[in-house]
Structure 1
Amino acid sequence: MMAPSVLVDQTSQAVPTKSSDRTLLRVSHPNPSLQVTADHNLKSAEAPVYSPRAGEALVHIKATGICGSDIHFWKTGRIGSLVFEGDCIIGHEASGIVLQCGEGVTHLKPGDRVAVEPGVPCEHCFLCDDGRYNLCEDVQFAGVYPYEGTIQRYKNHPAKWLHKLPENVSFAEGALLEPLSVVMHGVKSAGLSLGRGVVVCGAGPIGLIALAAARASGANPIVITDLEPARLAFAKEFVPSCMTYQVDRTKDAQGNAEAIRALFGSHEYVAPETVLECTGVESSVCTAAYTARRGGTVMVIGVGKAIMNNLPFMHLSLAEIDLRFINRYRDTWPPAISCLSGGILDLRKLVSHVFPLEKAEEALHLCADTRNGSIKVLVVDEQDASL
């Protein structure tokens, strides 16, 4: 585990000056950041540092994971209705150490190690009132324009959405809590059962975490699919009890589904009850639809195209296959932390590459090219936590 940073007296180093309605801090360390621009480029830039407002905490970001959505925003400028209309600091899978607390913050103090839950809902709409805050239409999500993300040294964040890390959970593991939360929401919504078969489509970071979570849930047997043999080999090493299937590009969705189902045996009742679709790729969603047994569930966790035209509607209908979706997560961070601290899941092997903050742009370029063999790429900052 990374040793927590040591705080020094900040009062001699932080000199406040006024900038609009916020207090701008002059800091002794620079605040490098990585931004996606409105014209689909990456830009490294010095970002301002502000003192925390009431209810906020200023966090020294120690680790941020690169997510597929960061790549999507860079390459296309949008995911569905989420559009980059200007320059914005990206990153949302993060952990760090609290430097300062704003007025009214009582559950955190400087020096606390925390994970960042990046979505900040309005807390006033009917969805928030109903506890479904992940569906809030006015959510302020870190790293999604215009809300600044975590690939920077210093970031303010509402303290309510910062979760303390126990000492046996490292900053690197803290950054993995966000993708773990995605998977936990999907697994809970899919309702995995002890001894029931599961297929995981896609052996990227989300698929691999879903594989580990399915194993921990007691699902059996488990098959994971992917196009890349190297990723399947990693999946087998990561969860040795799983079976793997390399998607055959020469077969259509039904053909690949037939081959996947054959791994479960010849009887219909042993066919996979649940498919966790973790790619968002249309052909994979179609394969998932044909793979699930009649009356089964396809849980789409991956992010895909805004419109899909070729879903097998009547097959889903006649087989009463429950096609479900998730949007991020809710109420997952404390149990996700418990999973890691209690040894239920060990995700450390997923970290394949680590880049210093000053080379964050290189991290994104590496992550964007599947030929580089990355699994989870982290951007870390080893600077002292003082301002």
Structure 2
Amino acid sequence: MSYLPNPSLQITADHKIKLVEAPVQEPGKGEVLLHIKATGVCGSDLHFWKTGRIGDLIFHGDCIIGHEAAGVVLKCGEGVTDLQPGDRVAVEPGVPCENCFLCDDGRYNLCEDVAFAGVYPYAGTIQRYKSHPAKYLHKLPSNLSYLDGALLEPLSVVMRGIQVAQLELGRGVVICGAGPIGLIAAAAARASGAHPVVITDIDAPRLEFAKEYLPNIQTYQINTSLDAQGNAKAIRTLFGPDEYTAPDRVLECTGVESSICTAAYTARRGGVVVVVGVGKEIINNVPFMHLSLAEIDLKFINRYRDTWPRAIACMSAGILPDLKPLISHTFPLERANEALELCADRGRPSIKVTIVDETDVTV
């Protein structure tokens, strides 16, 4: 098989981005070669670009980024029987070792030896061609597009957060942050039967979009003249007059220290705060004794596990509202660097930016 050029977006160890042609990796045993058709830009991509790390995940060299992806199978490696050329698939980007005690226990999202696409040194999906284990590819039904498929990864993050938070019918929830993850979380929380659902942000236009996109939720704009307790008090009034009606579940989707503190004071006594967002390596000002005396559980998630089949089913069946309106901008692969630059530019508002490749690649 002859291949077209393989443009790829890479982050360098000295915090630069570059668009360069990459070699095409032939599929090995149990792998398939994909033509990546769509990849969403994630906040973690920006973190890696600007800081070179997220916790212990460090870019020691150049690496192709991207992990929110969908594509079409071009070629199957040895032993692949459940996929064939032409199959449309969503990419589950994390490939665990399958040998450690966490993998044995089914908690493969915590595997320390995971090969995660777009995290150094494992090549990501912002390229035309990518080989990936067939086990971690999921067929797309005919009513889901490649753009839908690329949104399954952030939806999986949200589904893991909702699982840990134990949302249920009639349970109130606050979503901190009206970025892509927060908006998907609000949509999924509403679909789960949670009520009331309140989404917060510091940015008024994002909240306006949230209200248009999900008219059955409430919004709250963070007041920068108030401290965390003051904002939390104002958020609580949206749920009712007393402690009993205060929200007992909060999904913190920004990772920002001040937002985590606000979330801690927003949850009622005995409640749960689940941190979904990615933040600084060390956060010093979390109100420890408030959480302790109120027995508020501060929980975290690390990506997801066993979510893709359920996410595909929910999206395909219309359980969730259409997530594609969150895609504010698309860029062709050859301009992927511009997509990342847009996401990083606060002066040019965007929600979900997606890189697409409509090049005709012969199967």
TM range (shorter): over 0.9
Match of 1:36 in 2: 11
Contact kept in structure 2, 1:97 and 1:385, CA below 8 Å: no
Match of 1:277 in 2: 252
- Are positions 1:225 and 2:200 aligned together? yes
Kindly report which structure 2 residues correspond to 1:200-349, keeping only aligned pairs within 5 A, or say none.
200-345=175-320, 346-349=322-325
Deviation at 1:296, TM superposition (A): 0.6
Give the TM-score taking structure 2 as reference length: 0.99
CA distance in 2, matches of 1:370, 1:135: 33
Match of 1:356 in 2: 332
Letter in 1 for 2:344: A
SS of 1:370 mapped into structure 2? coil
CA distance in 1, matches of 2:334, 2:169: 46
- Are positions 1:97 and 2:72 aligned together? yes
- Are positions 1:174 and 2:149 aligned together? yes
CA distance in 1, matches of 2:197, 2:28: 48
Letter in 1 for 2:95: V
Unpaired segments ≥5 residues, structure 1: 1-13, 15-25
Deviation at 1:145, TM superposition (A): 0.4
Match of 1:55 in 2: 30
The Cα offsets for residues 318-375 of structure 1, whole Å up to 9 and x where unpaired, read as: 1110110000000000000011100011201101000000000000000111331111
Contact kept in structure 2, 1:366 and 1:374, CA below 8 Å: yes
The Cα offsets for residues 50-94 of structure 1, whole Å up to 9 and x where unpaired, read as: 221110000000000000000111111111100000000000000
Kindly report which structure 2 residues correspond to 1:24-173, keeping only aligned pairs within 5 A, or say none.
26-27=2-3, 29-173=4-148
Kindly report which structure 2 residues correspond to 1:362-373, keeping only aligned pairs within 5 A, or say none.
362-373=338-349
- Are positions 1:384 and 2:360 aligned together? yes
Letter in 2 for 1:379: I
The Cα offsets for residues 273-315 of structure 1, whole Å up to 9 and x where unpaired, read as: 1000000001100000000011110010001111111111111
Letter in 1 for 2:256: V
The Cα offsets for residues 150-197 of structure 1, whole Å up to 9 and x where unpaired, read as: 000000001100000001000001000000000000001110121121
Match of 1:21 in 2: none
Higher-Rg structure is 1
SS of 2:141 mapped into structure 1? coil
Kindly report which structure 2 residues correspond to 1:7-22, keeping only aligned pairs within 5 A, or say none.
14=1
CA distance in 1, matches of 2:268, 2:168: 14
The Cα offsets for residues 181-228 of structure 1, whole Å up to 9 and x where unpaired, read as: 000000011101211211000000000000001100111111100000
CA distance in 2, matches of 1:311, 1:378: 34
Match of 1:374 in 2: 350
Deviation at 1:267, TM superposition (A): 1.9
Equivalenced residue count is 362
CA distance in 2, matches of 1:279, 1:349: 20
SS of 1:329 mapped into structure 2? coil
After alignment, is 237-246 or 106-115 more displaced? 237-246
Contact kept in structure 2, 1:33 and 1:89, CA below 8 Å: yes
Contact kept in structure 2, 1:221 and 1:242, CA below 8 Å: yes
Deviation at 1:385, TM superposition (A): 2.6
CA distance in 1, matches of 2:18, 2:238: 47
CA distance in 1, matches of 2:24, 2:121: 16
Percent of residue pairs bearing the same amino acid type = 73
Contact kept in structure 2, 1:363 and 1:379, CA below 8 Å: yes
CA distance in 1, matches of 2:185, 2:346: 20
Unpaired segments ≥5 residues, structure 2: none
- CA RMSD in angstroms comes to 0.8
Letter in 2 for 1:165: L
CA distance in 1, matches of 2:53, 2:250: 27
CA distance in 2, matches of 1:196, 1:158: 39
After alignment, is 366-375 or 297-306 more displaced? 366-375
SS of 2:298 mapped into structure 1? strand
